[in-house]
A and B are shown apart, each in its own frame.
Chain A
Amino acid sequence: MNETTLEIPYEIPADAHNPVEPFLRMDRMPHIWCPGCGIGTTVNCFTRALLDSKADLDKVAVVSGIGCTGRVAGYARLDSFHTTHGRAIPFATGLKLSNPELQVVVYSGDGDLFAIGGNHFIHAARRNMDLKVICVNNLTYAMTGGQTAPTTPSKVISATNPYGVFEPSFNLVALAEAAGASYVARWTTYHVKQLARSMEEIFKKKGFCFIEVLSPCPTLYQRRNKMGDGLDTMKFYKEVSKVRHGARTSECELTKSGEIVVGKFVDRERPDYFELLRAQMTESLGDRYAEPEVSCSEC
């Protein structure tokens, strides 16, 4: 028996369609993500945020690094760039600077953005580069088989810490705030509505914005730690998450099984890179300053 016959006890209206489909390269489905992985859920939130923000989709670009979340770029039906490991942010920096009318979204994983790409993250935040960084944090290197990430909590068993992780982990939201991000929030894949709203909010905000999304990796994180499957993880998020907007990020550390503080922690006004550049150049050069015209269709 290959085909399921499902009883749909009603007619589906002919014009009904999945609202995510226009945002995705449906010819590439099914995607590579495992059953119970939350990355697809974050993509739903992303597409709904794009829909609700009424963004001109021709002017939205997605840049990813390497890893499971790095594959988002390949599925988004937008100008999309699957770059090298850890380098989504500097690529996005070049893209944004050359073509400032683009809304540049960096969509990548915790290992990519905070281990190999950690230096780029802090510098882009310091410059307040107008990038929207969405980090799907599954607390592990999933694509390569569940090795320890800089986010893996203490005591967790990983492929490279088979006797338990003992290195301290990064608190991503505190790191982002300290480095200078204009907007910092954390949600889990359980918080779909809040996450979509946060994403919509950062599309409208100037400067370096960061959203951390905790997401299950049932295949390589939960399974190895006897934490159940994706659904068990979603229930766990529901149970232990506390919404605390404006919480001190230094108090939002993640542990293996403790409370998860979610919410919007930082939303501040800082001049972004372009504003700072223009102000300095105008001060120094006056009328001699020429606005950058980097992108060109005829040269």
Chain B
Amino acid sequence: MHADPKGVLTGVHFLDGDHACCEGTLAAGARFAAGYPITPSTEVVERFAWRIPTVGGLFIQMEDELAASIAIQGAVWGGAKAFTVTSGPGFSLMMEHIGYAAMTETPCVFVNVQRGGPSTGLPTLPAQADMMQARWGSHGDYGIIALCPNSPQECFDLTIQAFNLAEEFRVPVMLMLDECVGHMTEKVVIPEADGINIVPRRFTHKSPEEFRLFEPQADGVPDMVKAGDGYRFHVTGLTHDERGYPNMTVDTQDRMVRRMQTKLAPLAGSRAFFEAEHLEGADVVVVSYGITSRVAQRAIELARQQGVRAGKFRLISAWPFPAAHIAELAARVKAFVVPELNLGQMVNEVERAAAGKAAVIPVTHAGGTVHNPETILKAIVEAAR
């Protein structure tokens, strides 16, 4: 279906990534946000708080990130599309409820504008060091989706995508910005509402007597309901059966936890989001994401000017990791160069997928600024030798 025009600010704008992300939430149909102030992410909800009273929705500033990250889930079960926004220290507090959303298959969006860590770290400066936390930060086995925009335009586009994927797969989706992308101001084109595709919530058509809240459909994803519609359903973070009732058996645990991961399998393969360039005949492929992909772009161009056959593989969906694509490339390239604003996170996934068939060279950076393209260039040139 198309976006509700009430939330769509059609036109050509000059916006930073945080503000573009906010416009994305409104275009996607989010009418509820809960947040707690934290640099460098607060602009997203500041704009939402400014915009939403005339669109017809609510923003509430909660007492902490624990509250914000569960309030949105209450709103979702009340029938809303909802999200919260934070940065590293707040993201750490939200881990509990990323697990709850995964366990209860609550579609919602968590925006993390990454800054340097650990702990309070570098509040105003960029990093990409929460990538593993996004995937594994809550306890237990589960699956999530993480998207990494590299421009304000993508902050808009991928925010809509994040809501759509959350609905399609009934999972929490992480939108992994970084301080640079969040605070970078560029042209953002917001299309007409009827040019924006929205995935509506898949509410059940069954009667309350027949309906089971955690019974997967053919795609492994169960249908939804909302409170107040007479279904008298139960949601729990305990291991539960298809009815949603607590069930502590090994069989139920296995069935449920495996499904929570396997339902996302298409996103690791045929439906992975990425941007590729110059992969034909490439010797070296630079795998990057977010702001680092823009620095890498320069390094790839410089390398190609020197005659090095360098290609680009930009992760847009970092989780599930597109392992099949990396494995396929590994069979025909010499090396992968993986620059990221951390001391080596996604590079481990590249290494795992490459399985020894190609060299994998990390270009690490502790954060606080972006790489110097020369550093990446040097790694590409050395890898090509």
Chain A interface (Cβ < 8 Å from any Cβ of B)? 25, 28, 57-59, 61, 63, 73-74, 77-84, 86-87, 89-99, 101-102, 119-120, 123, 277, 281, 285, 288-299
Contact = CB atoms under 8 A, between A and B. Distances in A.
B63 A95 contact: no
Q: Which of B58, B97, B200, B233 has the most CB of A within 10 A?
A: B58
B236 interface: yes
Contacts of B1: 298-299
Q: Which of A61, A74, A295 has the most CB of B within 10 A?
A: A295
Contact of A101 (B74, B228, B246): B228
B74 A63 contact: yes
Nearest to B4: A299
Contacts of B238: 82
B54 A290 contact: yes
B56 A98 contact: no
Contacts of B53: 281, 285, 288-290
B232 to A, nearest CB: 5
Given A87-B67, A290-B53, A295-B226, 18 more contacts: A74-B236, A79-B233, A84-B70, A84-B100, A92-B74, A94-B34, A94-B72, A94-B76, A95-B77, A95-B227, A96-B74, A119-B64, A277-B58, A281-B53, A292-B31, A295-B79, A295-B228, A298-B200
A293 B31 contact: yes
Contact of B229 (A58, A98, A285, A299): A58
B32 interface: yes
A288 B54 contact: yes
B38 interface: no
27 contacts: A28-B245, A61-B228, A73-B236, A74-B236, A80-B233, A83-B100, A83-B237, A84-B96, A89-B67, A90-B63, A93-B62, A94-B70, A94-B80, A98-B32, A98-B74, A98-B78, A99-B78, A99-B227, A102-B227, A119-B63, A277-B58, A288-B54, A292-B58, A294-B58, A295-B80, A295-B226, A296-B81
A30 B194 CA distance: 53
Contacts, number: 181
B71 interface: yes
B60 interface: yes
Q: Which of B4, B6, B31, B82 has the most CB of A within 10 A?
A: B31
B278 to A, nearest CB: 40
A29 to B, nearest CB: 12
Nearest to B233: A79
Contact of B75 (A84, A94, A123): A94
Q: Which of A58, A89, A98, A290 has the most CB of B within 10 A?
A: A98
Interface string B171-212: 000000000000000000000000000101101000000000
The 5 closest A-B pairs by CB, nearest first: A94-B74, A295-B79, A98-B78, A99-B78, A94-B71
Nearest to B236: A82
A281 B64 CA distance: 24
Contacts of B31: 292-294, 296
B235 interface: yes
A106 to B, nearest CB: 11
Contacts of A97: 32, 58, 60, 71, 74-75, 78
A295 to B, nearest CB: 3
B66 interface: yes
B57 interface: yes
Contacts of B79: 98-99, 294-297
A74 B245 contact: yes
Contacts of A57: 232
Contacts of A63: 74
A54 to B, nearest CB: 17
B56 A292 contact: yes
Given A58-B230, A292-B58, A299 B29 contact: yes
A198 to B, nearest CB: 24
B244 to A, nearest CB: 9
B352 interface: no
A298 B55 CA distance: 17
